[in-house]
Amino acid sequence: MMAKRAGRLKNQLPTCYYEGYLEKRSFKDKTSRKLWTCLCGSTLFFFNDKRDTDYIEKIDLNGLISITDDSSQDRNLDAARLHIQMKSGNIKITAPNAEARELWKGYISSVAKLSVPTALNLLPGQIHMLKEAVESEKERIRSVPPPPPVPSGSPYITLQADMPACYHAVSRLEAELLLEREAKNGNLMLRPGSSGNSFAVTTRQDLDGSVFRHYRVTRNPEGGFTIDVDNPVHCDTLHEVIDYLVEKTDRVLVPLIIEEAYEKNISFIQSDNENGERSVHQALPNVAPPSVPRKPVPRKIPSPEPEPEPVIEENYYLNDDMEEEEAEGEDSTAPPPPPENKPPKKAMMPPRPAPRKSITAATPYSSSPPSTNRDSRMRSDTDPQKQIPLAAISELKLRFEQMAKTQ
């Protein structure tokens, strides 16, 4: 059983401009809920029933971005839907009929933007009611006192990013409802205090029902914060305040961290060119472009190695040695003659033996002397160029060696 909360009378709310039953559904809600809705000031207050004095939820219209018709069909054919886009998220509203939808759209847009929209399908009397609501809202805003200035001497809380993750800008009653609804995500949260210069910590635990406790956190003039209990606890930052409460309760208290809901697909509202009806369309998925094949790199053909220059072998001749020996015997003091371009020398080939002539039987009457054959043999052993044949040189070397051995 939920703990009883102090009721809040409707006469304590700002001026009510319009009210009626609406079906509300946000992206966090799984089903729609039919609630009595009151537009009081620039805030929508939702009640479970028309006779209730304690609202269960509210929407601040200062964060309104746009309000458009939703052409999707409802199970109730007379019902008409609205799509409210806020900075904190999107909300779907279903009105009992098309006329009620047009009135709700006019009042919400007029109060939020302080001007009557022109594109409304309303009667002149209804337009006049919207203008009166705008003037009343302007007068209410002028009569509201400005919030107390925040002391500039404390550098601890300057941006929303400096707040702990469990900080939620809700009232005392909204904090209890939020902890009740998000019980699985945590049971401790930090919220603004009753005055503009303080904070509060709200906790929820189960003991034969929900038990809520609230702790005041005041800001010190010299810097830091204090948990206002019987034995005050000083902390330098709000993060230390949350850590202190978690550690002192053996981590039974868990900070409430709510992950915001985000769309999984890109959608947009577009009107039909034929009938002018506006509907929600899904953006086409992003198709990855085909990968461009890599540019082929030409293969490097190894350059042929230069062929080695052919080695020209010089012919070696025996008569080269003989000429060198003769040159050494000459006067070495004489200057060497200039080189002459001599024609290439021909290789000395061994003499070809003359074919033997068939010896005919000498006749007693032959008149040729016997020395003729010896002379012809000696002539045959000599070269026609008057050079010593190789065979004669070899025979001389052999005889000189035999003479040297016998001595």
pLDDT of residue 152: 45
CA distance 390 to 387: 9
Whether domain 161-248 has CATH 3.30.505.10? yes
**111 in Cβ contact with 137 (< 8 Å):** yes
Q: How many residues belong to the chain? A: 407
Q: Output DSSP code: residue 161.
A: G
CA distance 374 to 112: 153
CA distance 68 to 278: 9
**Architecture of the domain spanning 10-143:** Roll (2.30)
* Pairing between β-strand 210-219 and β-strand 198-206 as defined by DSSP bridges: antiparallel
pLDDT of residue 25: 76
What are the residue ranges spanned by the domains of the chain? 10-143, 161-248
Distances (CA, A) of 373 to 108, 284, 380: 155, 125, 10
State the DSSP string of 345-385.
Answer: PPPPPPPPPPPPPPPPPPPTT--S-THHHHHHHHHHHS-TT
Amino acid at site 323:
E
pLDDT in tens for each of the 407 residues of the chain? Answer: 333 334 445 556 788 899 999 888 765 556 778 889 999 988 888 888 888 888 888 888 888 888 888 777 666 667 788 888 888 778 888 888 888 889 998 999 898 889 888 888 888 888 899 999 999 988 888 876 665 554 444 444 444 557 888 998 899 999 999 999 989 989 999 999 887 778 999 999 999 889 999 999 998 888 889 999 999 999 989 999 999 999 999 999 999 988 777 777 888 888 888 887 888 888 877 666 666 667 666 666 666 666 666 655 555 554 555 555 555 555 545 555 555 555 555 555 555 655 555 444 444 444 444 444 544 445 544 445 556 677 778 888 888 888 888 76
- Identify each DSSP E strand in 133-229 by its residue range: 188-192, 198-206, 210-219, 225-227
pLDDT of residue 67: 86
CA distance 31 to 394: 131
Longest dimension (CA), the chain: 185
**66 in Cβ contact with 85 (< 8 Å):** yes
pLDDT of residue 364: 43
**Helix axes 124-143 and 98-113, enclosed angle (nearest 10):** 30
Amino acid at site 127:
I
